[in-house]
Amino acid sequence: MESPQDLAAEAARLRREIERHNHAYYVLDAPVVPDAEYDRLFRRLLEIEDSHPELADPVSPTRRVGGRPAAGFKTVRHARPMLSLANAFDEDDVVAFDRRVREQLGGLLPAGEDVAYACELKFDGLAMSLRYEDGLLVRAATRGDGTTGEDVTTNARTVRAIPLRLPEPVPLLEVRGEILMWRADFERLNARQREAGDREFVNPRNAAAGSLRQLDPAVTASRPLRFFAYGVGESAIDLPGTHAGLLDRLAGLGVPVGPRREVVRGAAGLLDYFARMAVERARLPFEIDGVVYKVDRRDWHERLGFVARAPRFAVAHKFPAEEAVTELLGIDVQVGRTGALTPVARLAPVFVGGVTVTNATLHNEDEIARKGVLIGDTVVVRRAGDVIPEVVRTLPDRRPPQARAFVMPAHCPVCGSAVVREAGESVVRCVGGLFCKAQRRQALLHFAQRRAMDIENLGERIVERLVERDLVRTPADLYSLDKGTLSGLDRMGDKSAERLLAAIERSRQTTLERFLFALGIRHVGEEVARLLAAEYGALEPIVVKDWAALLERKKEVQRENAKRRTRGERPLPVPLEGVGPEIVDAVAAFFAEPHNLEVIAKLRAAGITWPQTEGMRALREAARDAAPATGVLAGKTVVVTGTLSGMSRDEAESRVRAAGGRTASSVSKKTSFVVAGEAAGSKLERARELGVEVLDEAAFVELLACGAPLRSEPTH
């Protein structure tokens, strides 16, 4: 058991460290540790102060919110404190929150009835207060330390999402919400920072805060900031009696409020909402770090009251940390199916993103050098959803004297073959090809995956044994396996062998696009495989194609079309439009390799077949002299993005083609319009950049029905 002196010393150290992080986060906009590390320090200090009241300090960071206002802005005292929320980190915390609410409400809650809660997303941005008098924005202030913030009115006026005038001349209304930045906008901002040689921002929250708190408003005006309201402070107008109704009222006044809002009942409803939003999280265009639960009835808020730094009627349920701090113990090198050597960080185990992480990708040599990573460093690790964990940055102030640099090996760590780095590439590759067991193993797994040949039950362990015993050297060898061979493998009984053989047998009937994807041709993913299959309809034309001539033909057609556009004539179809020179070169190199042709011949001899079609090329040649396409979308190129409520994306694209149009997978100046569903991302942003017309789903349906869209999204 720790002595009182030891606990006092630890509490003092924690206060100093938390204050340092507060200053870096709230004042300098330059966080040095992830939120998870900060939360861990804060919870430990709370634990000490709660269990040992004699060690409490009236100026402890647990007694106030955030940090002091930065110099350079006039200070603003909030009429009502802008408090932060208590955190819930697991189901037990949420159940306990609901139990406390019910107990404190006592007889106000009818017997047997669950509490109604308003649920919202927890935006990862900068808290703001917007004060409207007679319907006009007169002041904007940051939260600061919760009592006093910074007057950033001039800067806030440059944020287009913030209304300067409300549609009603309300005498007084203080709107509280969050300034944030979309992920796509953040990536573009950092790209501009790199090009200009300026410091990059750590994350969208850091970028939003740094952008709003510029002394030069012109800088703020150049940054793509957004705003979502989540509540009110002072008010001189009648407001709805529920929090959900309050947000609807703000939306009616033209104030942006967040999506995915719901009212649920009881702890079960809260946990269900949390689980669904955890799935939605990766599809949102902005960062969230959790969800917020608030008792929906606003007249109960006063009854429930407040603790020192947070209201009792609300709690923030945080997602598992996506960033954490740990030690980089070493760097190993993995060899992928294309021979690429990838450095992988070996880490001291750390819990991040809901799992314990011991390895994280470092991408390549250039990334290691750019981030200044040394073996032995203390590093920040990030994991988002199902994304592979990565080392984000180092903490140089914690670097030990014995830290050392990483050197990429000159020979493949699996087969000993030489490694090369092609001009213009950041990846180092093993030249061992199928001689290299690592590439053989990964090539087989790629061949068997669900989106390729879909050989169920052929997982990593079985492939490992087949390769180690040299039973399978190429994908074609899979089709000569028998029950006796498979049953002889470790942990592979007769039943398992029969199931695997049945899956291999089923895979003999496939599609051309799946087969092309399964071959593992460099740069040929599912979309390119689909384009090749649709263009030629059979494998033989692809194998014998003069790809150099195709590239030249593409250039000729593009030149001819440029002339036709000036003459107002209909353009010629571009061969394999969307497939660039890099992909063509990779396809040509693959089919020029005799060994690859030998493997393909063995696969065909093993009985792998697919339906033969005419192919788009043949169909275009047959229809070359036919009448021009008709239909409301004749001559139009359409991109469909996001989630549509009334149809799938495939169905929407089929309807485009049925109406005489063509679909594309990316937005360009040639795009006629974009159909944008819910959670549309980078393609929608690209359309706005290029000034391409954007239709919502209703306008798209009306266009198909009557030929004239009734609603479209402004592109300005």
User: What is the CATH classification number for the domain harbouring 524?
Assistant: 1.10.150.20
Side-chain half-sphere exposure of 72, counting CA atoms within 13 A:
8
Same domain, yes or no: 446 and 371 = no
Last residue of a domain, which of 567, 588, 622?
622
Domain with residue 307: its CATH number is: 3.30.470.30
Paired sense of beta strands 172-180 and 126-133, if any: antiparallel
The span from the CA of 211 to the CA of 179, in Å, is 10
Same domain, yes or no: 304 and 214 = yes
Number of domains in the chain: 6
Same domain, yes or no: 155 and 8 = no
Do the Cβ atoms of 86 and 42 come closer than 8 Å? no
716 within a domain of the structure (yes/no): no
Same domain, yes or no: 550 and 522 = yes
The span from the CA of 273 to the CA of 261, in Å, is 10
Q: State the Cα torsion 539-540-546-551 to the nearest 10°.
A: -20
Tally Cβ neighbours within 10 Å of residue 110: 7
The span from the CA of 312 to the CA of 90, in Å, is 18
Same domain, yes or no: 349 and 423 = yes
Q: What angle do CA 164, 223, 155 make, to 5 degrees?
A: 40
Domain with residue 671: its CATH number is: 3.40.50.10190
The predicted structure's pLDDT at residue 714: 33
415 within a domain of the structure (yes/no): yes
Paired sense of beta strands 693-695 and 673-676, if any: parallel
Domain with residue 42: its CATH number is: 1.10.287.610
> What does the H/E/C string look like for 403-435?
CECCCCCCECCCCCCEEEECCCCCCEEECCHHH
The predicted structure's pLDDT at residue 517: 92
Six-digit token string for 696: 């919502």
211 within a domain of the structure (yes/no): yes
Same domain, yes or no: 204 and 232 = yes
The span from the CA of 234 to the CA of 265, in Å, is 28
The predicted structure's pLDDT at residue 433: 63
Collapsed DSSP state (helix, strand, coil) of residue 405: coil
Collapsed DSSP state (helix, strand, coil) of residue 497: helix
The predicted structure's pLDDT at residue 369: 92
Do the Cβ atoms of 211 and 220 come closer than 8 Å? yes
73 within a domain of the structure (yes/no): no
Between 682-690 and 183-195, two packed helices, what is the crossing angle to 10 degrees?
A: 60
The predicted structure's pLDDT at residue 662: 82
Do the Cβ atoms of 695 and 644 come closer than 8 Å? no
The span from the CA of 203 to the CA of 125, in Å, is 10
The span from the CA of 300 to the CA of 320, in Å, is 30
Q: What is the mean pLDDT of each run of 10 residues along the chain (716 residues)?
A: 85 88 66 83 89 82 60 84 88 95 90 94 93 93 89 88 89 96 90 84 85 85 91 93 96 92 96 94 89 96 82 92 90 87 94 86 91 95 76 92 95 86 79 74 90 91 90 92 91 89 95 92 84 88 84 82 83 76 80 83 93 59 44 84 75 78 80 85 82 86 65 36
Last residue of a domain, which of 622, 655, 678?
622
77 within a domain of the structure (yes/no): no
Six-digit token string for 366: 């250039």
Same domain, yes or no: 230 and 122 = yes
The span from the CA of 239 to the CA of 249, in Å, is 8
The predicted structure's pLDDT at residue 101: 95
Same domain, yes or no: 579 and 502 = no
The predicted structure's pLDDT at residue 650: 64
Six-digit token string for 552: 């030249």
Residues acting as catalytic residues:
122
Do the Cβ atoms of 328 and 391 come closer than 8 Å? yes
Do the Cβ atoms of 428 and 339 come closer than 8 Å? no
Same domain, yes or no: 327 and 308 = no
Q: State the Cα torsion 205-211-212-216 to the nearest 10°.
A: 170
DSSP state of 25: I
The predicted structure's pLDDT at residue 710: 38
| Distances 594 to 420, 441, 574, 581 between C-alpha atoms, Å | 22, 21, 30, 22
115 within a domain of the structure (yes/no): yes
Q: Which domain holds residue 660?
A: 637-706
Same domain, yes or no: 204 and 109 = yes
Structure pTM?
Answer: 0.53
The predicted structure's pLDDT at residue 620: 47
Six-digit token string for 225: 């900031």
Same domain, yes or no: 550 and 532 = yes
Six-digit token string for 322: 């996506």
The span from the CA of 602 to the CA of 306, in Å, is 74
The predicted structure's pLDDT at residue 553: 82
Last residue of a domain, which of 428, 453, 475?
428
Would you call 363 exposed, middle or buried from its count of C-beta atoms within 10 A (0-12, 13-18, 19+)? middle
529 within a domain of the structure (yes/no): yes
Same domain, yes or no: 148 and 251 = yes
Cβ density class 160-189: b for 16+ within 10 Å, e for less? eebbeebeeebebbbbbbbbbbbbbbbeeb
370 backbone dihedrals φ, ψ, rounded to 5°: -65, -40
Side-chain half-sphere exposure of 369, counting CA atoms within 13 A:
6
Mention every residue, 6+ apart, whose C-beta is less than 8 A from residue 245: 239
628 within a domain of the structure (yes/no): no
